[in-house]
Chain A
Amino acid sequence: MANRPLRIVIAKAGLDGHDRGAKVIARALRDAGMEVIYTGLFQTPEQIVQTAIQEDADGIGLSILSGAHMTLFPLVLEQLKAQDAEDVVFFGGGTIPPEDADELRKRGVKAVFTPGAPLQEIIDFVEAECGKRRELVG
């Protein structure tokens, strides 16, 4: 089990069709040796967390560019809690103003990446944080 690659769910929620970022991140994480499950568009927070649990994912990366981040990120956090999956590393990105990003981090989103964030930094973050989770959960 220990050598199994990290598994990451990359998710798009709500009605937001901007999937360029999500796809680029999915591809970059895959190229970095992880197993990536891309949910496709228009997922509900419930579906996203379900997917993560079913796939035994180490992390969820949520991409939102429609302005609905302050609703949908907290709903995913709620679902993680409700389904006893708070160990899953939850991060995200998109068109998110700094003030909102701070607030989301306070509420438990592990990292918020905005446009321009280098892929390597995202990969490093996922490897480190999800790696820690893997050590704890096994």
Chain B
Amino acid sequence: MIDRPNGSGAKTAPGYLRTGPGSGAMDRTISDVPLETVYEPDDVTRVNEPPGEYPYTRGIHKNGYRDRLWTMRQFAGFGNAKQTNERYHFLLSQGQHGLSVAFDMPTLMGYDSDAPQARGEVGKCGVAIDSLRDMEQLFDGIDMGDITTSMTINGPAAIAVAQYIAAAEKKGIPRTALGGTIQADILKEYIAQKEWIFPPRPHMRVIVDMIEFCTAEMPKWNTISISGYHIREAGSTAAQELAFTLADGFAYVEAAMARGLDVDSFAPRLSFFFNSHIDFFEEIAKFRAARRIYAKRMRERYGAKNPKSWQLRFHTQTAGCSATAQQPENNIVRVAFEAMAAVLGGTQSLHTNSMDEVLALPTEKSVEIALRTQQVLAYETNVTNVVDPLGGSYFVEALTDEMERQAEAYFQQIEEYGGVIEAIEAGFFQKEIAEASYRYQRSIESKDRIIVGVNQFQRDEEQLDMDLLKITEEVAQGQARSLQDLRATRDNGKVQQTLDRLQQACRDEHDNLMPHLIDCVNAYCTEGEIVEAMVGVYGRYTERSVF
């Protein structure tokens, strides 16, 4: 299947021996945190921190999962809105609790499906949403007042929220009834995911406008999902993921406070999104440390008084970068371990990756296995019965402290740059991540890290025995036709008028952009048109690449 000879077969590999070079290092975590052979009572310095109490190291709920399981939320989106709508109906019928929208690249970057930049990308790694018309189709037959929806979009996040509100209001569901989360974490785009539109400073204004608007008008809406997932996928260590994500979170808090918002008015609706990688205990420690660091900062530095403002709530996704194209069925097993780490770490919601995502978008079959993995975890393993079952483990507590210590050291460095935006502009995060990912790749080359099926236990013949999902170019053609039709049938005078008003608002720092965006969306302006209008004022960002 691939251009390379395979290595030694499983027959000759002594799986039970782990000594000597090339058998995987056992004296450190996957992120190179040094490990003792055994941990002892002296390694634990902290006194008991009961679950449900500040600083929430052991969880934000007193009764853990006994009161409420995590939300099983599978990220999905491909092709056009109609195809994705069908997948949503399927997922809801299979017991999934909430929806999670994956958009395609042109939508994420603010281009319409018929833009030259969109060549070959339409509907490929998510659903194509060009206008309100597509958003209406996406939620056709779904009670938007009853479900919660998570939307993974950042550059055009404010436009997506405007479309979601407009689609719901057309069905008679008021915006106050809408529950869900918009990712809207633009800082991590510059750091890792690279789906930006405008330069960082105007982008921050758009985000704060959205936070301000949602705080006032959408009481059930989580205004931002501060994401480490992509930072980790880009190759960071666990501590970098933890530190950079929390630093981003604090930057949003500071920006909203600088706008004059009371920290307790918006902080309870901030949420986080972490990766769950394959190093089991390190991940659990990372989640626990995240809660503790966040609570302390929110209370001590930002003066939040509402306990809800101290509580770090998070969504988790298993690590796409830990999946392998070789023997892809093994990914089912990896996902199960990673999911368990997330649950032992106290996640509020979870996406389990499908085994075939390293090759293509997942098929319905592989998505079902991924969802069943969560259900087995939730209902059969009984790991949910006791809150923070690893609390008090000498090892896990020591590793939690170590994660916190490393994160604090990174905060110090970021502060020395003058803050997150300054550190982005200096390329600090980008360099740190590139360095870590290269080190990691080298450790696989040297077999300091063993990846089953990749550098050890390979099959002599790699044969893919699996159907893969195919997205045809018909999706792009269909979107282009639909856009043509839209532009011909809508009130173009109104389109121009709303876009002009939006541009004016972009120039006026005191005017909140959200109402203008909702007007544009309701006039059936396309996403590309709205973004172009904003780029006219803000410009487009370009990166100085480092490797």
Contact = CB atoms under 8 A, between A and B. Distances in A.
Interaction A to B = yes
Interface stretch (A10-18, A50-58, A77-85): A10-18
A113 B358 CA distance: 13
Contact of B2 (A19, A42, A117): A117
A15 B2 contact: no
A116 B120 contact: no
B547 A26 contact: yes
B445 interface: yes
Contact of A71 (B120, B323, B543): B120
Interface of A is mostly: mixed
A41 B105 contact: no
Interface in B168-216: 189, 193-195
Contact of B233 (A20, A117, A120): A20
Contacts of A118: 4, 444-445, 455
A114 interface: yes
Nearest to B434: A23
A27 B360 CA distance: 26
Nearest to B433: A20
Interface in A74-133: 75, 95-99, 101, 105, 111-121, 125
Contacts of B324: 115-116
A115 B4 contact: no
B120 A14 contact: yes
Interface string B463-484: 0100010010100000000000
Nearest to A122: B4
A95 B4 contact: no
B326 A68 contact: no
B153 to A, nearest CB: 13
Interface in A23-75: 23-24, 26-28, 36, 38, 40-42, 66-72, 75
Nearest to A73: B120
Contacts of A95: 358-360
B121 A20 contact: no
A41 B430 CA distance: 14
B82 to A, nearest CB: 19
Interface size of B as a range: 35 or more
B464 A72 contact: no
Interface string B418-453: 000000000000000010011001101100000101
A27 B2 contact: no
Contact of A70 (B120, B189, B323, B468): B120
Contacts of A42: 117
Nearest to B546: A23
A112 B444 CA distance: 20
Given A23-B434, A97-B359, A40 B120 contact: no
Contacts of B441: 24, 28, 119
Contact of B121 (A14, A38, A111): A14
A125 to B, nearest CB: 7
B369 interface: no
Interface in B107-127: 108-109, 111, 117-121, 124-125
B40 interface: no
Contact of B543 (A41, A72, A97): A41
A27 to B, nearest CB: 5
Contacts of B121: 14-16, 66-68, 71
A75 to B, nearest CB: 8
Interface in B313-335: 321, 323-326
Contacts of B451: 116
Nearest to B359: A97
B3 A112 contact: yes
Nearest to B441: A24
Contacts of A15: 105-106, 108-109, 111, 117-118, 121, 195
Nearest to B544: A40
A126 to B, nearest CB: 12
A66 B195 CA distance: 12
Contact of A14 (B105, B323, B464, B545): B105
A67 B451 CA distance: 25
A72 B194 contact: no
A111 B3 CA distance: 6
17 contacts: A15-B106, A19-B194, A20-B235, A20-B321, A24-B441, A28-B438, A38-B545, A66-B125, A68-B119, A68-B124, A75-B119, A111-B3, A113-B2, A114-B359, A116-B451, A117-B2, A118-B445
Interface of B: 1-4, 105-106, 108-109, 111, 117-121, 124-125, 189, 193-195, 233-235, 321, 323-326, 358-361, 434, 437-438, 441-442, 444-445, 451, 453-455, 464, 468, 471, 473, 542-543, 545, 547
**Nearest 7 pairs of A and B residues by beta carbon:** A71-B120, A17-B194, A67-B124, A68-B120, A98-B1, A15-B105, A23-B547
